[in-house]
């Protein structure tokens, strides 16, 4: 099973390669007032948000990606310290 865990400590984008299919995405820690947008990358490399693909507190979503990249974008945060995990279901 594929699983990738990483830290998010600043506003911006973090992309990870993941095989197409369903993934559980969880984010927890000190948000610093920010919002996470969970996106997939289209064939041109553009980030497209999943429907209901945002979080503002500890939690998670199940997303189905047809491309091999999932992007997590944090915005509006002050001194965040988050741990994100993407797991293939």
Beta-strand pair 81-88/3-8: antiparallel
Indicate if the alpha-carbon torsion angle 78, 65, 70, 5 is positive or negative: positive
Question: Architecture of domain 3-88 in CATH?
Answer: Sandwich (2.60)
Does the predicted model carry a pTM greater than 0.95?
A: no
CA angle (84 as vertex; 37, 89 as ends), nearest 5: 90
Q: How far is CA 58 from the centre of its chain?
A: 12
Residue pLDDT tens, the chain, 89 long: 688 899 999 999 888 877 788 899 999 999 999 999 999 887 787 888 888 889 999 999 998 877 778 889 999 999 999 999 999 88
Domains of the chain, by residue range, sit at: 3-88
């Amino acid at each position: 099973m594929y699983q990738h865990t990483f830290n998010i400590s600043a506003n911006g984008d973090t992309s990870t390669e993941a095989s197409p299919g369903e993934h559980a995405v969880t984010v927890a820690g000190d948000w610093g007032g920010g919002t996470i947008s969970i996106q997939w990358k289209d064939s041109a490399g553009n980030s497209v948000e999943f429907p209901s693909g945002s979080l503002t507190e500890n939690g998670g979503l199940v997303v189905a990606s047809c491309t091999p990249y999932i992007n997590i974008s944090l915005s509006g945060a002050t001194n965040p310290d988050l741990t994100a995990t993407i797991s293939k279901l």
